[in-house]
Amino acid sequence: MRYVDEFRNPQLIEKASRELHAIVEPDRVYRFMEVCGGHTFSIFRFGIQHLLPPNIELIHGPGCPVCVLPMGRMDDGLHLADEPDVIFTAFGDVMRIPGSRGTPLELKAKGRDIRMVYSPLDALRLAQKEPERKVVFFAIGFETTAPSTALTLIKARELEVKNFFVLSNHVLILPAMRAILESPDMRIDGFLGPGHVSTVIGVRPYEFVAKHYGRPVVVAGFEPLDLLQSLIMLVKQVNAGSARVENQYSRVVPWEGNERALAAMAEVFEVRPFFEWRGLGFISQSALKIKHEFAPWDAEVHFTLAGLRVTDPKAAQCGEVLKGVLKPHQCKLFGRECTPERPVGALMVSSEGACAAYYQYTWQGAAGE
Amino acid sequence: MVMSRRRAVFQDASIELAHGSGGKATRKLIEGLIAPYFFKEDAALTDSATLSVGDLRLALTADSFVVHPLRFPGGSIGELAVNGTINDLAMGGAEPQALLVTFILEAGMDTKVLQEEIATMAATAEKAGVAIVGGDTKVVEHGKGDGLYITTAGLGMVHPHANLNPLSIKEGDRVILSGPIGDHGITILLARGEIDLQASIASDTRPLWPLVKPLFDVYGEAIRWMRDPTRGGVATALNELARDTGLTVMLEEAAIAVRKEVRGACELLGLDPLHIANEGQFLAVVSAESAEDVLSLLHRTPGGEEARIIGSLKRASRPGVLVRSDYGSTRIIDMLVGDPLPRIC
């Protein structure tokens, strides 16, 4: 497979691993955060930790949209599925997120009309096919998926589809990075920048991390060689005492981002004053709301939502894990009350969540069986 | 049987779809709720039961088939219903002899569709040399079934040289896989038409007895365990093996064949081929001394050309399945949890 096999080439990977071992300074610890859940998944999937020197510590960041979605939002969405004329649609990622009354999959088994779609356009097509029903698309994701939601809404307006609604839970990666950088217990020496988000927003927006916080950022791809090369770039910067933004994933990520995608987002969305992130709390200007011009397709306008906050169980230490203060297995619930089958905390829900990845690929759930 | 594993406990208040996906939840349902009532001994659960009647060693099994769509590239529900049950017998070392068939039909179903499936079943059974000797039909109200559900029960005669017993598995034993994985599961996923992806792949459904019979003829003593990795895939079957034996299965990723179409679909959808269902492959645990001989015989048997030794059994601190990449890292691969869901965002 082109663009995959080259980046999984064993000789090149071994060479990169050797280089990384050679350049780290033995008496310092390097703490790097991979911001993106896709990276977390790749790191565990490919066993990248085994290829690193022991003094490189990877901290799994907030870039998993499923993980940071507060339970109250899930409840609001699933509440809509109770209405007999509603078809609730969402990505496969959403189907196992627990709301207070269960996951979408469980409610589907109880008879709600809940369907998995692969793109918001599929949900729009469903609305055209079922004009008597109201089709709600429960939109989640960072800047990676927001453009496709935006384009779908533009299309819905063009086609004058009146029974299609979007519940936007889109969030923005930069405010989350800023919140982590501002946190008093922050101990991060550099960031692996999110590859997929950056295809949309480009590389320039990370410059504040280098300029204001003095931390290097390397936008990274998702294959083993990508990750090792990016870590080499980060270590070199840390060793040299520099803080710059670099792009390792230049075969996919343009420096300026994707103009058309950004334009579609700007046409459809505006920034919310604040939004709740599971595990991190309220972060100002961190999420996208559908603009007034698209109100007829905005589920928040069309339906009445309870908008209640549901707090996470106190014992779950998701916030500490998200900020890198605790490793997943150091949480009191990990592998006991909280497992991928019965997630308590958000990070156990998606295979991109730090805890689920940790559970799946490095730790066997013996205690929880 | 003395088993190192703990028995699963079933605590769920209601039955969810995940209980049918073949992974952890299914195992909990069977071990935690069903087996305690039916079985006195805490025995390892196998694909078919073995009974002794006089001097005869018989194998008995049943399987139900719920698949959407009913027809897909490379097969159909009827073909699966015949092959699936005779494969469960074959995995118990038994030559399939006879099948019973039960149809659950939804009112309103097109007769032509049903007739096609019946004809397919007859042809598949004939090809496999097994007789369909009886059965039952029921009709449920429209909207209460997915068109057609089929249950088949099979009776087989255990091969005189078959000596399958997970308790005889030892450290150093080899794991053989009969061919490329994931074809069936990915074919079904794509045939549902929900994903805008096209690939030229077909289900691998086929009867396995012709493939494994020569192995029992010659190496019956050396073959300790066999399983067809259907729902839950290779990872789930081998995790069950690990739990039943208390050993760790060490796999070499480079030895596991995955067609490029399946690999491509898995990469795009964030799925692991080791979790994807197969309907025409088998896994076998074979003694280290005989592994190469068994493999070479398999290579000479039609349909076994792509078989590989994919790993071996080791003693480790915890039982489980480890996959070693060709660049030296290892990862744990667990059983499937729920159905494989694509990752998009």
Instruction: Domain ranges for chain A, please list them.
Output: 5-65+173-247, 71-170+272-302, 318-360
How many helices (H) and strands (E) would you count in chain A? Answer: 14, 13
> With the CA atoms of A259, A263, A264 and A270 taken in that order, what torsion angle do they form, in degrees rounded to the nearest 10?
130
pLDDT at site B42: 64
Sheet with A56-63: strands ordered across:
A56-63, A30-36, A190-193, A217-219, A245-247
Test mutation, B11, B327, B331, chain A, max A CBs within 10 A: B327
Q: E strands within A91-154?
A: 114-116, 134-139
Cβ separation of A93 and B343 shorter than 8 Å?
yes
Kindly indicate whether the domain formed by A5-65+173-247 is annotated with CATH number 3.30.465.10.
no
CA pair distance B98, B157, nearest whole angstrom? 10
Residues of chain B with Cβ-Cβ distance to A46 below 8 Å are 325, 329, 331
Query: Distance from B321 to chain A by nearest Cα, in Å?
Result: 10
- At residue B14 the predicted structure's pLDDT band, cuts being 50, 70 and 90, is confident
Whether B12 and chain A come into contact, CB under 8 Å, resolves to: no
Cβ separation of A47 and B326 shorter than 8 Å?
no
Q: A8 near A228, Cβ under 8 Å? A: no
- At residue B25 the predicted structure's pLDDT band, cuts being 50, 70 and 90, is confident
pLDDT in tens, B186-230: 999 999 877 777 778 999 999 999 999 999 999 999 999 999 999
Q: Which of residues 332-361 of A touch B (CB under 8 A)?
A: 340-341, 350-352, 359-361
Does A172 or A349 have the greater pLDDT score?
A: A172
Which of 3.40.50.11740, 3.40.50.1000, 3.40.250.10, 3.30.420.40 is the CATH number of A71-170+272-302?
3.40.50.11740
pLDDT at site B156: 97
Q: Which two tokens stand for residue A313?
A: 């169980």
Report all structural domains of chain B as residue ranges with CATH numbers, in order of start. Answer: 47-158 (3.30.1330.10), 166-332 (3.90.650.10)
* pLDDT, mean over chain B: 91
Q: Give the mean pLDDT of B106-135.
A: 95
Residue showing tokens 């050309």: B305
A71-170+272-302 shares the fold of A5-65+173-247: yes
What are the distances in angstroms from CA A309 to CA A60, A100, A166?
25, 11, 20
Whether cis (ω within 30° of 0) applies to the bond prior to B69 is: yes
Residues 6+ apart with CB under 8 A from B182: B233, B258, B259, B262, B263, B266, B273, B276, B277, B278
CB atoms within 10 A of CB A336: 13
pLDDT at site B2: 34
The yes-or-no verdict on residue A368 having pLDDT over 60 is: no
Return the residue of A nearest to B343 by Cα: A93
- At residue B1 the predicted structure's pLDDT band, cuts being 50, 70 and 90, is very low
Residues of chain B with Cβ-Cβ distance to A44 below 8 Å are 331
Please work out, in degrees rounded to the nearest 5, the angle formed at the alpha carbon of residue A109 by the alpha carbons of A103 and A114.
Answer: 70
Q: Helices B209-219 and B288-300, interaxial angle, to 10°?
A: 140
Does A77 or B24 have the greater pLDDT score?
A: A77
Q: Which of residues 57-76 of A touch B (CB under 8 A)?
A: 65-66
DSSP codes of every residue in A140-199: --STTTHHHHHHHHHHHHHHT-SSEEEEE--B-HHHHHHHHHHSTT---SEEEE-HHHHH
| Residue B231, SS3 per DSSP | coil
- At residue A337 the predicted structure's pLDDT band, cuts being 50, 70 and 90, is confident
CA pair distance A171, A141, nearest whole angstrom? 6
Question: Could you report the predicted ipTM of this complex, rounded to two decimals?
Answer: 0.77
CA pair distance A73, B146, nearest whole angstrom? 33
Return the DSSP state at B30.
I
Cβ separation of B341 and A340 shorter than 8 Å?
no
Cβ separation of A10 and B326 shorter than 8 Å?
yes
**B118 Rama sector, left if φ>0, alpha if ψ -120 to 50, beta otherwise:** alpha
Residues 6+ apart with CB under 8 A from B216: B93, B159, B161, B162, B223
The yes-or-no verdict on residue A67 having pLDDT over 90 is: no
Q: In this structure, are strands B320-324 and B248-252 parallel, antiparallel, or unpaired?
A: parallel
Cβ separation of B345 and A65 shorter than 8 Å?
yes
Look at residues B292, B241, B230 and name the one whose alpha carbon lies nearest to residue B45.
Answer: B241
Strand partners, B98: B131, B155
CB atoms within 10 A of CB A50: 15
Cβ separation of B196 and A119 shorter than 8 Å?
yes
Q: How many CB pairs under 8 A join A and B?
A: 112
Cβ separation of B343 and A350 shorter than 8 Å?
yes
Share of chain B above pLDDT 70, in %: 96
Q: Give the mean pLDDT of B333-340.
A: 78
pLDDT at site A323: 75
Q: A123 near A237, Cβ under 8 Å? A: no
The yes-or-no verdict on residue B15 having pLDDT over 90 is: no
Q: Give the mean pLDDT of B286-302.
A: 97
> With the CA atoms of A276, A278, A279 and A281 taken in that order, what torsion angle do they form, in degrees rounded to the nearest 10?
10
- Taking chain B, what is the end-to-end CA distance rounded to the nearest angstrom? 46
Q: In this structure, are strands A288-290 and A281-284 parallel, antiparallel, or unpaired?
A: unpaired
Test mutation, B10, B244, B344, chain A, max A CBs within 10 A: B344
CA pair distance B271, B265, nearest whole angstrom? 8
Q: B37 near B122, Cβ under 8 Å? A: no
The yes-or-no verdict on residue B262 having pLDDT over 50 is: yes
Query: Distance from B99 to chain A by nearest Cα, in Å?
Result: 32
Q: Give the mean pLDDT of B11-36.
A: 84
Q: Give the mean pLDDT of A20-33.
A: 96
- At residue B337 the predicted structure's pLDDT band, cuts being 50, 70 and 90, is confident
Cβ separation of A145 and B345 shorter than 8 Å?
yes
pLDDT at site B44: 67
pLDDT in tens, A262-302: 999 999 999 999 999 988 889 999 999 999 999 999 999 99
Whether A95 and chain B come into contact, CB under 8 Å, resolves to: yes
- B329: nearest CB among A1, A41, A51: A51
Residues 6+ apart with CB under 8 A from A203: A193, A219, A245, A247, A253, A255, A257
* pLDDT, mean over chain A: 91
DSSP codes of every residue in A25-77: -TTS-EEEEEEEHHHHHHHHHTTGGGGS-TTEEEEEEEE-TTTTS-HHHHHHH
Whether B198 and chain A come into contact, CB under 8 Å, resolves to: no
pLDDT in tens, A159-211: 999 999 999 999 999 999 999 899 887 889 999 999 999 999 999 999 999 99
